[in-house]
Copies of this chain bind each other. A is one copy, B any other.
């Protein structure tokens, strides 16, 4: 029997990277609800998301959600998957949380991920009690948001091998080792530093600056920047068959 209508929302997996702790993080908001008797019913975390407005594209909707959460627009954004299993919001906790009236239907969510520079956002200054969590040690997550994050991570793994999106997660001025550490965090692998360094430095779009790290207690590293313009001019895409 066809079900002709559904709820539509977007959910946003917001990735950030902490160069100090070398941790790839996800921005989550608290899901907190008490009953009349002051008993805590749900106390876990979820992705930010919201219903899609009537006159809004899906992309605009995701952008709006990110702006409300972080104040940022113009971040790297990718729609990576729609989640719509009929039972995806049917756990006991989730039924308490959601508006049962409106949600008697299935809810389909169009999931996006965003890449942003952690330095650009002050998470203490938003109404959602948003908090960064390392991807490696996520808290308990509501709905099917653990799965959504995992799939975002998988897509990010593939994507960062083919396009230079990794620089969306780094400060404008970074060291070679920052880039390597971030690749290692995303991909979960170890990379030989000497080979990686040579490979990266040889790219014309990796520009050495007249600056070094300050405030480090070892030999300060050379800082670099990424030139998107030069990258684009080099006529990517690479048609390298790597099967």
Contact = CB atoms under 8 A, between A and B. Distances in A.
Contacts of A52: 2-3, 6, 84
Contacts of A183: 241
- The oligomer's copy count stands at 2
A216 interface: no
A229 interface: no
Chain A contact-residue range equals 35 or more
Given A166-B243, A199-B241, 4 more contacts: A58-B84, A82-B110, A161-B162, A161-B243
A82 B52 CA distance: 13
A84 B110 contact: yes
A1 interface: yes
A189 B239 contact: yes
Given A6-B52, A51-B3, A162 B243 contact: yes
Interface stretch (A13-21, A100-108, A115-123): A100-108
Contacts of A177: none
A86 B60 CA distance: 11
A54 interface: yes
A40 interface: no
A16 to B, nearest CB: 20
Interface in A41-86: 50-58, 79, 81-86
A238 interface: yes
A158 interface: yes
Given A108-B108, A161-B241, A57 B85 contact: yes
Interface in A79-101: 79, 81-86
B53 A2 contact: yes
A54 B243 contact: no
A119 to B, nearest CB: 23
Contacts of A79: 81-82
A5 interface: yes
